[in-house]
Amino acid sequence: MTDTTLPRKPAGGLPVWFWIVAPALALAALVWVFAVANPAAIFTSSAPPIESLTVQRIVVVPDGFRVTVVNGGAVETTIAQVIVDDAFWAFTIEPSARLPRLGTATISIPYAWVAGEPHVIQVLTSTGILFEGAVEAATLTPQPGLREFGSYALLGIYVGVIPVALGMLWFPAMKRLGRRGLGAVLALTLGLLIFLLVDTLLEAFELAGELPGVFQGVPLALFAALLTWLALAAVGARRKDPYGDPAKQRLYVATLIALGIGLHNLGEGLAIGAAFALGEAALGSFLVIGFTLHNVTEGIGIAAPVTRDQPSVRTFALLALLAGAPAIVGAWIGGFAFSPLPATLFLGIGAGAIWQVMVEVGQLLRRDAQKDGLALVSWLNVGALLVGIGLMYFTAFLVK
């Protein structure tokens, strides 16, 4: 019998640990020599270093503005002046006007802002480079408190939980459909998910563009999506049992759909909370109405996989909370502490979850078609898929 075990020592006689440690030590030595000898010094020029300062958030307070800036450049940056509405203005800065790479500072600017008016804030560095942020319509930024938390929670419930629950009310009608009709409902759900995937990725890329370049926003979103998809796929592979209860498998798919939609609704909550926090009440109210109508279709998608079964009201309630409650969390984050970095990360995670949900729904649709002796790709299924995409697309007009 052939011995397939690996030798403890390579042919040279040295132990395996040596060949693990030696390359790492050689790499460390190379980095040290480069840092000490500095062979790149010949390329040094007298031009000022390239700076990259990002205005991450502007908070409107009763006596002025608080501006959070991040140094995303490769060199230390010093903030020299602040300009508000084309006039140099007094300011204080914490912890220091000198920001190291990836350093964050908060600039406090006493200013008699005018409610409802736009204000432009520019930060001037010691090298003379301007970085700009704007308040589109000045109004007090909401501060955390029980009343404010409750108000944003109600917005999240109105946008997320209630519409999803209303969509689930079509469940009794869906159960009365024949085999072809049930397949069409699953195909419609797949269409809804396709739109949500595209919409979530576009939102993630848009927020990624607001990040300092050092954070590599687009790769961050894509890698978050990839890792989420692989994690959910691994979890699904461990729990799948070809001889298990089909009803439990269908409920698992419905739960995954609710999870994916919930992560997407987190992004919707962020948009609504940020709109109200920035004083755009009209836009915020419009978003609430639009997302409410938009999310009713999501309840249909969650209920679709279990139309062959009879889940309890408690099960539907938990699924509605899983899909809708993240909108509450999103509204809190958007209203009180919006930051494009976690928002980009959350949306990337949502995209990965939605992709895995699409895989699961597609497999469920294929299994049901084989079990019923029906064609997977039929005119009815293709039409239902297009209807699902169309529903989401046209209700999105109310939001965009």
140-160 pLDDT per residue, tens: 777 777 887 888 888 888 888
Question: pLDDT band at 182, cuts 50/70/90?
Answer: confident
Question: pTM for the whole thing?
Answer: 0.70
The CA radius of gyration of the chain, in Å to the nearest whole number, is 27
Backbone angles phi, psi at 50, to 5 degrees: -80, 125
Q: Which residues contact 257 (CB under 8 A, 6 or more apart)?
A: 189, 193, 301, 302, 304, 305, 323, 357, 361
Report percent pLDDT > 70 for the chain: 86
One-letter amino acid at 286 equals F
Highest mean pLDDT among 182-196, 270-284, 364-378: 182-196
pLDDT tens digits, one per residue of 289-317: 766 776 787 788 888 888 888 888 899 99
Highest mean pLDDT among 47-51, 141-145, 254-258, 366-370: 254-258
- Written out in words, the top-level CATH class of the domain with range 53-135 is mainly beta
- Count of other CB atoms within 10 angstroms of residue 259: 21
Average confidence score pLDDT of the chain: 81
pLDDT tens digits, one per residue of 92-133: 999 988 988 888 899 999 998 888 888 999 999 988 888 988
